[in-house]
Structure formats: structure tokens, C-alpha cells
Amino acid sequence: MQISEEKVIDILNEKRRIDDILLSIGGKKKDKKKIRKILSKLESDGKIERIRIKKQDYYQLKDVQGSRWTIKRGFIYVLLIITIFTVIYYIQVFSQFKQIPACLYGCDLYFHYGIINHICNGNPPWTNPQFLGEYAHYPWITHLIVATISKVTSIDPLTVDIYFPLLIFMSGSIIAYLLGKRLFTDDKFAIMLCIGWMGSRPIAETHPHMLSAFVLIPLFLWGILYAIQTRSLGSRIIAGVMYGLTGIGHGIAVMSASLIIAFLFIYYTLLRHLHITFSSHEEKLKLSIDRNDKIVKSFKENVAFFVPILLVGIPIALLYWGFPIFVYHGHTPNPWHEYGFMELSKAGGEYALNFIMNTFFNFSALINGNIYSFIFYLFFMGGLYHVLTKKDENTRFILILTITATLSVLHFLVTVPLLNMSMVPHYFISMMMNPVKYLLFVSCVFMIYTKIKNQSYKDILLVLTYIFLFMGFVTTVNNYSESKWANVGKELPPTTKALFEMADWVKENTDKNAVFISNNECSFALNGLTGRKLVTMRRTHSSMYVDMNERQADAAVILYGNDTGMALKLLEKYNVSYLYWDFQWLFVAYHFNEKGEVVDISDPLMTSATKEHEEYFRKHGVNFRRMDTWVDPAHRGPKYKTYDMLIAFPSQLDPQQPWSEGLSEHLELAKEFKSDGLVVARISRIRY
């Protein structure tokens, strides 16, 4: 590429190092000498100034208040206008919500709202939000932030929960801009990445996954890139803090960050010293490697570089991970990650093929008439070509992220046959592949921009790209605002309103750690609305470090058995103070036909079909059936694993009193809640 004075001047509207200039104009290492000559001439002509910062030379136009600054300011104004428009749009959507846009029985958002209530009630975030005496089983930084905002501002937790995605959106957009600026050294492409990132997903959920994928992972990428570029101890400490935040943000987030660190270490220690060349004389590829002493030196340097990041990040991550590792020793009697995802030993090949085709060979988008997705795919592949062919450090960084993301999604192809275990692949898509797609998209535009010589054509390319990405954002938000769950949030049926009144009463009249007995889904709803403690709840939202087979078997004996003495002993074992009933008790556990007969199950009390559990149920009078079934009511079908389970049934299918008569004799009504004359919920004290 021809390096000209005009090209250098064109990008010096702000301070830049020679390496930044080289990257921005798409030059090669051999062009550095020519760039230095051009800079020297421009400096002697008085057009630019050289600024010394931390032993590095930066160059900048002297007339930064002139037309170029006006152009830069124009790009910033575009971003501000889009951001303000977006915030107003989201506020308009959120202001219509009368409840969390989710199902009260079993939905993730109410599960996380229960953790927020648990912390708002005054409990430490590292304690279990469902089971008394246990430790947190879900990274809690999202819940702690929401609870803290609620406490500091005196705004009720529900309102903060509904509007918290605005904070996720704004902070994630800023971080995307900063990441783009550090990678592409130009505001135009930083703004482009920011606009793309805004529309990458609907930001409408207060969920740790959302905060981690949209904010914490890009923040970590910025931090680790900043550390690599500056090599200072301070920058590595900052990167370590950001690494630690992923550890208390989400399990897959910290695994993603750890994989990125591992692959960067491998690249800088070994792969960087491998050289592949093509010999035209011999017509074959040649592989060479640097001397051993150079590799050993590189190994020592990179150990010294990454150790401070780990020393800072790991202790922060251990604020959550310390309990699973050192208290529970990694033992998971409730492996819910297996229940809620397809059985990869059977469906993994199909999943891997679909991922590869949809990511790298997405011609189906064109066939299906999805022109937007197909254009995005073309730019994605163009960006992949760019990072494969360029050799500067920033494009290598994006390439390493691409490789890491791809292998992390496909990890199960190795771990399932060898270890019979895997993480949830689609979380890696969200945490890693999604940001990689937008980085590659912008990389392609950057490549095209640097190859265009005419400035007017360059400007047209930028404007069209901004419009394209903004269209994607508008489509994303519109689709969400018209979705099923957004409409759920806009309504508050009388029965749901009565349940919110019940929650207010429970918060005001019971101890913050009072334990309630109910069935799985009613317990889930109660905990989501109040943060109160339980005997059992939906298995796939319970702690993987707690034996849910034992808890559900005990709950079945308490509620459906005929041994009142044993029921009272078990109630004392779990320190139960109240029984909670609501009008959905039977209907969230079983499916009925028109005659009122049970024809299928949803989420009843059930336990593993062992000889001990069968004897336990028979001894204490619990009606049960043995079934090979799914244990997650939200994930059923041939792709999901089934389990040999004992399904507990009430002795009488009475919607008002599904528990045993013996237990009823030890209940004292504390409060009931009605809607249009119908009793919706009832709280009863346990009398021992």
C-alpha cells in the first residue's frame, strides 16, 4: 500500500503512536521507516506536534480545534444522539411494565429477583438465597449492585430490577466504544463497534448473564488489551480486577476469561515463535521455530506478565468460588447443567454442525430471505480474512479471540468422550462468539476503509455502515417490545396482584430467614417475590451443591405422607415456620384432562428411583409412581436426557388442601389473600 502524507494527516486528529498510525492506514512493519520520515517532515513544517508520554512519542495535528476536530466531534454527536434515542426508547418500554416481564413460576428473572430480595433483606450475598445454612450457588455481583442501588436510593427493588437494564446498556455501550478505540485507534470505528454492540441483543433483563455478556466480558477484553499494549504493572492490576469481576459475575464468564488468558499465554510464549513460509522453489510450506533460548526467555517474560493479573483476579473471584471449591469441594449432587441442556453425547454432533454452518457458512440466511443477516455474515467473513492475513498485534488479538471462542463452543466434542462432562455451549456463544462477530464485522469495514483512496467514498462507507447497524438495533428492540414476555410485563392480572400483596405481607410480618414449606413451583414463586427460605423448589434453579433428591423426598413425606410424627421431625430438621399455598399448587405440578385425572407431570415433588427412596416413601405413606422422565419442566423432548424418578402424588387431589389431614392439624392460618372473592394464596403457621 502507498503510504502518503495525506493519509498520515488524515488520522492525526488526535494523539497517536507510530504503531497506531501503521494500524490505522493498514500498513506493514516495513512501512514504519517511511511513516517516521513523513512525521519528521510534518513536524518540521509545523503541521504536527510530538508529545512525550511515559517514554512514548505521540503525534497530533496542531490545529486540533479546526475542521478535523469538528469532524471528530460530529461522529461523537452521532453516537450521543443514537444513545439518547435508545435510552428514551427503553424507558418508554420499561415504563409500561407493571411486573417483571417473565413467568412467576419457574422463570430465570424471578429466580434472580429472589436473590435480590435476599440481599435487600439484609443477608450477605455469599449466603444461599433459598436454603438456610447453605452458601450461594450463583455468582452474585449483579444482584448485589441492584440491591445496593435499591438501598441507597430507597427505590423499591422491583422498580430497580425493571430499569436496571438501562445501566447495563449504557455501561456496555461505553465499554464497547473504549474497546473499539483501543483496537482500531480511531473514533469512527470505535463508534461503529458501539452502535453494533447496542443492537447485538435486547437489553431488557436484569440477569447475571446479561451483565456479564454485555459488560463484564468486553470490560475484561479492554483490560487485558490495555495491559498487553502498555505492559505496565498498573495496567495488569486493572486487568486483574476485571478478570476477578467475571468470577463473581457468571460461571461461563470467568471460564471464558480464563480461556482467553490461557490462549494469549500460549500465543505469546510459543505460537508467536512459529513461522510458516511458502517455498516457491520447492513448492511446499515450511515450518520453522525460533531458537530455544528465545522461547525460554519469552516464557519467563509472559509468566511475569500474567502472574499479577492472576494474583489480583483470583482472590476477587474466590469471593464466590471459594465456597464451591473449599466448602463443597466441587461435589454437585444436583447437576442442573445436565438437566436443562440437550444430551450432547447424542445430539452434540448435530449441535456442532449447526454452529459451524450458522457461523462460518451462513448461506441459509440468503436462502431464507434474511438479507440483513447475510450481509452481516459477509462482513464477518471479510473481517476473518483480515485478521488471518494481517500481522499487527491488534488483529492478532482479535484472531486469538476468534479461535478461543470457536473452540470454547465446541469443547464438548473433546470433554464429553473423555470426561463425560461439558459446560453449556450456547453460553459460550453469547459470552465469546457474539463479541467476536462484531469485532470481525468492524475489522472488515476497517480493511475496506483503509483500501479506499477517495475520502468521499470513505465517508459514504461509514455512513452506510452506521445506518446498517442502527437498523439492526431498531429491529432488535422492536422485536423485544412486541414479544410475548414484554406483553406479560405490561399486564398485572388480579391474581398476580394478590400474590404481590402476599409478598409485601410476608416481608413485613415474617423473619428474613423464615423457612416455608410448599411444592416446587409455588416455593419458587414465593422465594422470587420475597427472598424467604425454602425446603425445596424447582430443581434446575436450586443449588447444584445441595442434595435435591433428599430435600424433595423429605418434602413429599411432609406434605403427602400419612406419618405425622415423621412429618413434624422433618419440619424441625429444616426449621420450617410456615406453609405456603397458592391456587396454582396442583396445576404447576401435574397436567389434568377434562375429567380431572392426572395425564402428565410438570414439576412435581420427585426423587431418584433408588431402593432406599422407594422404601422411604412406602414406610411413610407417600403415593408415588416410577417414571423415566425429564426433571426440568422447561426442557423436554428427544434431545434431553431422562432420569429414573419416583413421582410423589397427594393422597387427595384437592386444589384447596393437597396435603395430608395429619399435617392440617398442625397448621394455623396466618393470612389469606383474595382476588374477586377467590382465595389466591394462604400463609399458615406450623404448630409443633
Residues in Cβ contact with 77 at an 8 Å cutoff, skipping those fewer than 6 apart: none
Per the CB < 8 A criterion, the answer to whether 196 and 441 are in contact is yes
Cα–Cα separations (whole angstroms), residue 193 to 187, 370, 524: 10, 22, 39
Q: What is the DSSP letter of 278?
A: E
What is the C-alpha to C-alpha distance for residues 336 and 485, in angstroms, rounded to an integer?
Answer: 24
Residues in Cβ contact with 582 at an 8 Å cutoff, skipping those fewer than 6 apart: 499, 502, 522, 525, 680, 681, 682
Cα–Cα separations (whole angstroms), residue 35 to 23, 26, 133, 304, 395: 12, 12, 65, 33, 20
What is the C-alpha to C-alpha distance for residues 487 and 489, in angstroms, rounded to an integer?
Answer: 5
Per the CB < 8 A criterion, the answer to whether 437 and 413 are in contact is no
Question: What is the longest distance spanned by two Cα atoms in the chain?
Answer: 97
Beta-bridge mates of residue 580: 683
What is the C-alpha to C-alpha distance for residues 435 and 447, in angstroms, rounded to an integer?
Answer: 18
Name the amino acid, one letter, at 512. K
Cα–Cα separations (whole angstroms), residue 186 to 20, 182, 190, 196: 9, 8, 6, 16
Transcribe 618-637 into DSSP letters: HHTT-EEEEEEE-S-TT--S
The pLDDT tens digits of the residues spanning 31-44 come to 787 878 877 777 77
Q: Which of 172, 138, 139, 189 has the alpha carbon at shortest distance from 25?
A: 189
Per the CB < 8 A criterion, the answer to whether 129 and 115 are in contact is yes
pLDDT of residue 68: 47
Q: Which of 622, 669, 619 has the alpha carbon at shortest distance from 646?
A: 622
pLDDT of residue 93: 87
Residue whose entry in the numeric block shows the C-alpha cell 447444584: 544
What is the C-alpha to C-alpha distance for residues 607 and 647, in angstroms, rounded to an integer?
Answer: 7
What is the C-alpha to C-alpha distance for residues 678 and 566, in angstroms, rounded to an integer?
Answer: 33
pLDDT of residue 67: 46
What is the C-alpha to C-alpha distance for residues 616 and 608, in angstroms, rounded to an integer?
Answer: 12
What is the C-alpha to C-alpha distance for residues 603 and 635, in angstroms, rounded to an integer?
Answer: 11
Residues in Cβ contact with 677 at an 8 Å cutoff, skipping those fewer than 6 apart: none
Q: Which ranges in 490-579 belong to alpha helices (H)?
A: 494-509, 520-530, 548-560, 564-573
What is the C-alpha to C-alpha distance for residues 199 and 189, in angstroms, rounded to an integer?
Answer: 16
Give pLDDT < 50 ranges for the chain. Answer: 64-69
What is the C-alpha to C-alpha distance for residues 546 and 135, in angstroms, rounded to an integer?
Answer: 10
Encode 200-222 in three state secondary structure.
CCCCCCCCHHHHHHHHHHHHHHH
What is the C-alpha to C-alpha distance for residues 373 and 565, in angstroms, rounded to an integer?
Answer: 63
Q: Are strands 284-289 and 274-279 parallel, antiparallel or unpaired?
A: antiparallel
What is the C-alpha to C-alpha distance for residues 514 and 685, in angstroms, rounded to an integer?
Answer: 11
The pLDDT tens digits of the residues spanning 219-252 come to 999 999 999 999 899 999 999 999 999 999 999 9
pLDDT of residue 280: 58
What is the C-alpha to C-alpha distance for residues 638 and 347, in angstroms, rounded to an integer?
Answer: 9
Q: Which of 72, 271, 94 has the alpha carbon at shortest distance from 190?
A: 72
What is the C-alpha to C-alpha distance for residues 571 and 564, in angstroms, rounded to an integer?
Answer: 10
Beta-bridge mates of residue 649: 623
What is the C-alpha to C-alpha distance for residues 327 and 685, in angstroms, rounded to an integer?
Answer: 33
Name the amino acid, one letter, at 389. T
- If one counts every other C-beta atom within 10 angstroms of the C-beta of residue 454, the result is 8
Task: Using only the alpha carbons of the chain, give its radius of gyration.
Answer: 29
What is the C-alpha to C-alpha distance for residues 522 and 528, in angstroms, rounded to an integer?
Answer: 10
Handedness of CA 626, 628, 631, 632 (dihedral sign): negative
Beta-bridge mates of residue 51: 58
pLDDT of residue 521: 97
pLDDT of residue 189: 92
First vs last Cα of the chain: how many Å apart?
Answer: 85
Burial of 535 (0-12, 13-18, 19+ CB in 10 A): buried
Cell of 540: 434446575
pLDDT of residue 2: 64
The reported pTM is 0.89
Mean pLDDT of the residues in the chain = 90
> What does the buried/exposed string (b/e) look like for 378-413 if buried means 16 or more CB atoms within 10 Å of the residue's CB?
ebbbbbbebbeebeeebbbbbbbbbebbbebbbbbb
Q: Which phi and psi angles does 424 have, rounded to 5°?
A: -85, 110
Handedness of CA 490, 492, 496, 502 (dihedral sign): positive
pLDDT of residue 224: 97
Beta-bridge mates of residue 289: 274
Give the length of the chain. 688
Distance of CA 370 to the CA centre of its chain: 26
What is the C-alpha to C-alpha distance for residues 348 and 564, in angstroms, rounded to an integer?
Answer: 48
